[in-house]
Structure 1
Amino acid sequence: MIKEIQNIFRLFFILFSGAAITVACESEPDELGMQFFQNGTAQGTEESFDVVAYNVYNNDALEADNDKLSEATLGAFDEPNFGMQKSSYVTQVRLSSYDPDFGANAVVDSVVLQMKPLYQTATDSVVTKTYEDYIHPDNIAAKKVVTSYPIKKYGKAKRNFTINVHEVTDFLYSTETNFYSNQQVNTGTLLGTKSFDGFIRSIKITKDSDNSELFSRDAGLRIPLDKEFFQSKIIDKKGSFELKDVASFIRYFRGLKLSVVENDGYIFSFNPNELSAIIYYKYDKTENSTTTRTQGNYTLDLGSSNVHFNQIQYNRSNTFVNHVPSTPNTSGDAKLFLQGMGGPGAEVVIPDAIIAKLKNLYKNEKAGLLSAKIRLYSDEVLWNNSYAKPETFATLVKTIGTDNTTTFSFFPDKDIFAFSGVYKMVNAVDLNKNPAYYDIGITQFIKNIVEKEEANKPITINVGSFQTSSTTGGLLGTDYTTKAYAPQRIVLVGTDPSLDANPNPSNTKYAQLKVIYSKK
């Protein structure tokens, strides 16, 4: 009796370990559970099956507005597999307060747009220059320290970009409006331009005599804008109806567009809510019958209350056009082209014949499924480069309803195993090697099909990850992903038709379902 209880416990542990297998960092731990198949308790078998994998062309567009952009992107990157991808940023402008009073005889000194790209903070990446003999403009002996931080980027390591800021002439409506990445806007006046070397800098100036701080500025990118434009557009309109309320102002000053001139380099990210434009001006201030010119500043609101979106353009390469059909080839594609920010994704379908074989193992041979995963390899020839590979994918189960509506859901594995802390939707292995591979854990998904007669549904795969709650750490939902601003891309090996026609047992680096099952 005791031995039977021990065997039941071991079998339960095997079932649990089978799910954990899908999250291991290497393939070897797949054999870890084999230690429990001892003393005749169970026989473990690992088997691989071909699956159908094909590209899903997303029309080079996705929703890329307020609801989707925790980060915004800017830049351009061109490489031979996918071609050029270029990202611009469009935002409304609002006043920080309405019917503002800038004082008497206000004259603009300068206008600066400030943004903070995501940047590296590792000590070996940061460059600090100290100017010991610096003289402050107020003729004070001081020390100036300039610290340079390289921004985080995807693409080519070195590239100077010319960043332009234009006035938007189209009305952008409200935040209730959905904007997609292929949205075009008309622009007017060029308001500013900046040559950007890929570094943002902080500045700190301290007085020599007592080390007190005279000036400090956090790391960021500052783009000077046309002061005459803002003089006439904002300052000189004091008291006018255009500045009285939000509705009037967003129809009067409709927005800004940030873009790069160049078509190749890299793509970088920034927090759209940290974007601002500051007007520095002087005005007459009268006290005790004495009038003096006084410095003032006014911040224009470019944050979350405004409509904002990424505008993404493509110039596709011949390699891409030859491999990615506009309509899914549901019989399978040899290569899978996955790209974030509106590029293509993929779908994987497990053939019904394979499902039938697994059902036969379960019903007639009393086999228990311990582990199931989809394995996808990076293409050794087309994707042999130094670009960072995606660390994960946004993977979902696709359901087509009787009315032809499409919905997406998480794998049932998420709920079954999340409590244990061992479930990981996608496990990336050997990302710094060629090839790398990805395992998508679908154990419970397959068990439900085999044991509960649930429908066999396609698995969708896109570059990006799912967003989590800052309080609970749980997934927010299927619609909350980083797809809109994930710049990574990769070419994977799909279903090669030649392998089906002429099987080559030595070549196993194509899309497969890998399962481990046991028989008593």
Structure 2
Amino acid sequence: MKKTIKALKPSFVFLLIIVSFIACDRDFNAIDSDVLGKGNSNFSTGIDTISISAYNRKLSSLQVNNLAGNLLGIYNDPDYGLTTASIITQVIPTTFSPDFGVNPVIDEVVLSIPYYSRAIDVDENGNTTYALDSIYGNPDAEIKLTVYQNNFFLRDFDPNTTNNSAQNYYTNTDSNENSAISGSNTINFDEHIGEKILEHVFKPSADAIVTTTGTGDDETEARSVPALRVVIENNDFWKTAILDKQDDPELSNSNNFKNYFRGLYFKVEEAVANDGNMFLVNLATSNANIIIHYTSGEIDDRTESTYTLTFSGNRLNTFINDYNKVTFPTTPNKDLGDETLYLKGADGSMAVVDLFGKDDVGLEAFLRAYRQTDDSGDYITDNTSGNFILKKLINEAHLEIYEDDGMLTNPVAENGDSYHKYDRIYAYDIDNNASTFDYQIDQTDNTQNAVISKTVSLSFRDSISPTAGKYKIRITEHLNNILLRDSTNTKIGLVLSTNVNLTNNAEILNSPDEVTGIPAAAIITPRGTILHGSNSSNEDKKLRLKVFFTEPN
């Protein structure tokens, strides 16, 4: 397809560029005037559709400590099956060497874990109405949460290293138990439980938390963001574990305390078979805590006080996956690519995109098509910049990806929206475990709402027929770096993410191939989708690379 265009007026070029940004969720055909050169007034545009290889990579042994958030609950994915997420976390006092006073008595112990929420309205009395974010699954389903004292010590440092590297913990989902891998050891946390502290059946609520203090005319009311807030009916445990340790070395510093009180195990189970909901929590915030309310002093002079424990120490997730609705390919086709691609979070699966094949024949053909050569067939470089001179300029290049609606249970109602409406596909450089250069220069980042962040490099999921379920992953600068600067042709990983702003990677333990890390954002979403692969039998929707170019006549 070629279209010849005569010289354009500058105002029209500017308008065309603006329109191309507005229409960033449609096919790009932007014209970059810098490519034309001073003497070129006639040029043509075209599109190259390039076949590539994209294949599945099943994930396991993923690093699950030091994540940006933690999943808690049960999620029944309609296309994959059931995932159960539990949490093991240390607890740390906010103050050490406390003085609890004379005859301290615990009044109540309160566990608070805020949900991710946002204010959507404020009434005339100043009361805020909230909506919950990062809730997955059936919002009306309950889950059973049991909290135990954890007796397994979560180390800060790996004793098998010489440079005091942090101790990492990895998923062990094939075991069908709440366990993790640490080095060569497997830890089943059910074998390290202490006293049961709490048993609670609940479902997340968007209601603000209302607390009252005082009585009668002195009563005051305070409202705070929605949270899992539970009064722990086990005062004797906390008196023995905390208050009775006053003046003992266990409460004198953080290291002593972590060795003495090794943390809590938040174990999740089904309240109803094959149903539940899951939510993302930020245990690192100071608002996530356990507050011990107590009174102390002489009989006629009692004082109310609090002692606070936070979850600011080591934390990790465990996942139990029952993927009974899908069978992952055991032998990916790395030459032609797979027919179907499976993207699933929480220790699920990803896709690997090899743009030009392992033997570099495709890469050489691409270079020959876009670089200028001399009479000997050698590539010509610019004497000033050292860059290669191009005969065709890439205006836009993206991976065109479609959901496989024949494989998906779609649509499924979730929270009133189409099930896949807010899915985002995150692309990263596998060789360097880093975001793509197109992502890095994308100025459309939105730190407040990841759903509408990085929409040029990662785009939205198209929801308009006939291209509903279409994604575009922009790799313009990735290809330009290869053409102009001879950058390495790195493979690209595709994962499903609900927060494309999170770019740090999690390590894969003893990886057998080039995929040594995965974006941590893909671990803290339980969601999944199924895509047409590069070897799909559907020619209209198979995964391809589209390159929009300008070529002087």
Q: Which residue of 1 aligns with 2:142?
A: 160
Q: Partner letter of residue 265 of structure 1?
A: G
Q: Which residue of 1 aligns with 2:340?
A: 335
Offset at residue 354 of structure 1 (A): 4.5
Q: TM-score, normalised by structure 1?
A: 0.76
Q: Distance in 2 between matches of 1:275 and 1:217?
A: 16
Match for residue 215 of structure 1 among 214, 221, 238: 221
**C-alpha distance 250-326 of structure 1, shift in aligned 2 (>3 A):** farther
Q: Partner letter of residue 253 of structure 1?
A: F
The 3-state SS of whatever aligns with 1:53 is: strand
Structure 2: runs of 5 or more not aligned = 1-5, 158-165, 173-179, 181-186, 374-389, 413-418, 447-453, 507-517
Q: Distance in 2 between matches of 1:410 and 1:149?
A: 30
Given that 1:414 and 1:423 are in contact with CA atoms closer than 8 Å, whether structure 2 keeps it comes out as no
**C-alpha distance 494-264 of structure 1, shift in aligned 2 (>3 A):** same
Q: Partner letter of residue 86 of structure 1?
A: T
What is the 5 A alignment of 1:452-467?
A: 452-464=485-497, 465-467=499-501
Q: Partner letter of residue 517 of structure 1?
A: F
Answer yes or no: is 1:324 the counterpart of 2:325.
Answer: no
Q: Distance in 1 between matches of 2:365 and 2:52?
A: 13
Q: Distance in 2 between matches of 1:216 and 1:76?
A: 31
Q: Which residue of 2 aligns with 1:279?
A: 292
Structure 1: runs of 5 or more not aligned = 1-5, 131-144, 400-406, 469-474
Given that 1:118 and 1:151 are in contact with CA atoms closer than 8 Å, whether structure 2 keeps it comes out as yes
What is the 5 A alignment of 1:124-143?
A: none
Given that 2:143 and 2:277 are in contact with CA atoms closer than 8 Å, whether structure 1 keeps it comes out as no
Deviations 1:275-302 (A, max 9, x none): 111112222337xxxx334333211232
Q: Distance in 1 between matches of 2:269 and 2:345?
A: 22
Answer yes or no: is 1:188 the counterpart of 2:194.
Answer: yes
Answer yes or no: is 1:381 the counterpart of 2:406.
Answer: yes
Answer yes or no: is 1:345 the counterpart of 2:350.
Answer: yes
Q: Which residue of 2 aligns with 1:3?
A: none
Deviations 1:148-188 (A, max 9, x none): 86564122232112222111010112273222344242222
Q: Distance in 2 between matches of 1:359 and 1:165?
A: 59
Answer yes or no: is 1:448 the counterpart of 2:473.
Answer: no
Q: Distance in 2 between matches of 1:454 and 1:34?
A: 22
Given that 1:466 and 1:480 are in contact with CA atoms closer than 8 Å, whether structure 2 keeps it comes out as no
Q: Which residue of 2 aligns with 1:177?
A: 167
**C-alpha distance 257-359 of structure 1, shift in aligned 2 (>3 A):** same
Offset at residue 380 of structure 1 (A): 0.9
Q: Partner letter of residue 294 of structure 2?
A: Y
Offset at residue 192 of structure 1 (A): 0.7
Identity %: 24
Offset at residue 256 of structure 1 (A): 0.7
Answer yes or no: is 1:236 the counterpart of 2:244.
Answer: yes
Deviations 1:221-266 (A, max 9, x none): 2122221111211112222232233222212211012232216322
Q: Which residue of 2 aligns with 1:27?
A: 26
Offset at residue 353 of structure 1 (A): 5.1
The 3-state SS of whatever aligns with 2:459 is: strand
Match for residue 83 of structure 2 among 80, 85, 104: 85
The 3-state SS of whatever aligns with 2:119 is: coil
Given that 1:389 and 1:488 are in contact with CA atoms closer than 8 Å, whether structure 2 keeps it comes out as no
Match for residue 485 of structure 1 among 497, 502, 524: 524
Answer yes or no: is 1:297 the counterpart of 2:306.
Answer: yes
What is the 5 A alignment of 1:191-206?
A: 191-199=197-205, 200-203=207-210
Answer yes or no: is 1:307 the counterpart of 2:314.
Answer: yes
Given that 2:203 and 2:277 are in contact with CA atoms closer than 8 Å, whether structure 1 keeps it comes out as no
Q: Distance in 1 between matches of 2:367 and 2:98?
A: 72
**C-alpha distance 164-147 of structure 1, shift in aligned 2 (>3 A):** farther
**C-alpha distance 169-341 of structure 1, shift in aligned 2 (>3 A):** same
Q: Distance in 2 between matches of 1:315 and 1:444?
A: 40
Offset at residue 76 of structure 1 (A): 1.0
Which is richer in helix?
Answer: 1
Deviations 1:466-506 (A, max 9, x none): 547xxxxxx78998752332333211111236x4xxxx7xx
Q: Distance in 1 between matches of 2:445 and 2:75?
A: 41
Offset at residue 208 of structure 1 (A): 12
Offset at residue 114 of structure 1 (A): 0.8
Q: Which residue of 2 aligns with 1:142?
A: none
Q: Partner letter of residue 49 of structure 2?
A: S
The 3-state SS of whatever aligns with 1:232 is: helix
Q: Partner letter of residue 163 of structure 1?
A: L
Q: Which residue of 1 aligns with 2:280?
A: 269
Q: Distance in 2 between matches of 1:50 and 1:154?
A: 36
Offset at residue 318 of structure 1 (A): 4.8
The 3-state SS of whatever aligns with 2:433 is: strand
The 3-state SS of whatever aligns with 1:461 is: strand
Q: Partner letter of residue 238 of structure 2?
A: F
Q: TM-score, normalised by structure 2?
A: 0.72
The 3-state SS of whatever aligns with 2:208 is: strand
The 3-state SS of whatever aligns with 2:149 is: strand
**C-alpha distance 432-265 of structure 1, shift in aligned 2 (>3 A):** farther
Q: Which residue of 2 aligns with 1:133?
A: none
The 3-state SS of whatever aligns with 1:122 is: strand
Deviations 1:422-466 (A, max 9, x none): 983211232477741111111222233345444433111122355
Q: Partner letter of residue 374 of structure 1?
A: L
**C-alpha distance 214-518 of structure 1, shift in aligned 2 (>3 A):** closer
